[in-house]
Structures are given as C-alpha cells and as structure tokens.
C-alpha cells in the first residue's frame, strides 16, 4: 500500500510540474480516514495547549501532498518545533482517550543525520495515511520534534494493542523508514512517561 501511495504522489507531482495546478479538474484519491496536522511552537508565557496549533485537516492523498509541499520540512524548521500528524478525532496529547494507556515507538537521530530526517518523516507520514500499520493494530499518529542536539520521531500506538501487535507495528515502522541495524527504536508507555518523565521512562521493547 505504501508503494501505491508513493506512485500516486509521483503522478501528482508530474501533473503539477506540467502546469496542472491546482488539480481541481482531476479526481482526488480518498484516504480511509481524515488526518490533522498540528504545529507546536513553544512560548514560555503560554500554556502548553495554547502552543499547539491545528494547521490543517485532509482526507485525500492530493491534499496531503499539497499540505506537506507547502510547509517547511523538519530539516528547515527551527529548534523546539514539533509537528504532529494524528487522526482527526485524536488530539496530539497523552491525555486523549485514544492515546491513554497506549505508548509510542521512538527513533532518535543525531544532528549528523539531519539529511536523512526529511526522508524518514515523509516515509512515516505516508505509512500512516496509507494505513500500513493497521493490519497489525490501531495507531493514533506520529510526532517529530526538532531539538538542538537531536531529532526525535515517534509513532503513537493505541492502548488496545497487544504486545505482539506492538512489536509487529515496530517492525513495520523500522522497515518502512529503511532503518539499518545500527538504528534502534524503543517502545515506551505513555503512563510511564507521565510518571517518570520521557527520558527516564522504562523501555518496554527495542528493535
């Protein structure tokens, strides 16, 4: 399914390059679900939730491509910026009922791998909207945070997943992002992150 979506996006880009923009006269390719992109811009004087801004919601491949083509890529974004892509009905926070009791697979990349960040984020976005993970279990969304020393990318998994499903989702995550053996992804539970802090939370699984 991921390869099919990438092929469709390639065709959209060809049409745009040929001058067919906007693509109002072409049939759009619907997604199985609607997705919302959120942007977190840290401001110390504002509450956390008020720093979270809804950018746009889309339900077609065409509109997904148009949105991500119009915004800055992660490698172009300043430190502290966080992009979150979640199903429309789910907020990008631990407290949301769909995220509660769930967890996340997390990938940390050093600044030395900045030229690989955009590729990984694009692959993760396309894997989400193409529902590449849902054959193994429900997923909620994905997050990427740009920090001074590293970049953190995570895939949020529903609390309804079994341990087997979580592991299979992690394997798909790593395979779709084409991560070699030297890259490790770790799974942490949201409740443990809340109780002990994300950096001190227990690692329940690692691939």
3-state DSSP call for residue 49? helix
CATH number at residue 115: 3.30.760.10
Tell me the pLDDT tens digit for each residue of 126-156. Answer: 999 999 999 899 999 999 999 988 999 999 9
Q: How does 157-189 read in b/e, with b if 16+ C-beta sit within 10 Å?
A: bbbebeeebbbbbbebbbebbebeeebebbbbb
Tell me the pLDDT tens digit for each residue of 155-182. Answer: 999 998 999 999 999 999 999 999 988 8
Six-digit token string for 154? 């995570």
pTM of the model: 0.87
Q: Give a yes or no: residue 21 inside a domain.
A: no
Q: Give a yes or no: residue 10 inside a domain.
A: no
Q: Give a yes or no: residue 20 inside a domain.
A: no
Number of folded domains in the chain? 1
Can you give the residue range of the structural domain that contains 130? 29-206
Please tell me the predicted confidence (pLDDT) of residue 2. 58
């Amino acid at each position: 399914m991921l390869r099919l979506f990438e092929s469709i996006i390639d065709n959209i880009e060809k049409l745009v390059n040929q001058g067919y923009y906007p693509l109002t006269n072409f049939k759009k390719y619907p997604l199985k679900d609607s997705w919302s992109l959120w942007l977190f811009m840290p401001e110390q004087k504002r509450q956390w939730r008020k720093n979270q801004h809804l950018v746009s919601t889309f339900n077609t491949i065409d509109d997904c491509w148009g949105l991500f083509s119009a915004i800055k890529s992660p490698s172009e974004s300043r430190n502290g910026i966080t992009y979150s892509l979640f199903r429309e009905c789910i907020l990008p926070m631990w407290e949301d009922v769909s995220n509660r009791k769930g967890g996340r697979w997390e990938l940390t990349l050093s600044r030395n791998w900045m030229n690989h960040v955009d590729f990984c984020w694009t692959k993760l976005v396309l894997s989400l909207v193409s529902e590449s993970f849902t054959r193994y279990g429900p997923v909620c969304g994905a997050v990427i945070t740009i920090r001074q020393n590293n970049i953190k990318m995570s895939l949020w998994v529903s609390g309804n997943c079994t341990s087997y499903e979580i592991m299979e989702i992690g394997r798909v995550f790593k395979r779709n992002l084409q991560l070699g053996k030297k890259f490790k992804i770790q799974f942490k539970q949201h409740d443990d992150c809340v109780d002990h802090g994300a950096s001190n939370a227990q690692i329940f699984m690692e691939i």
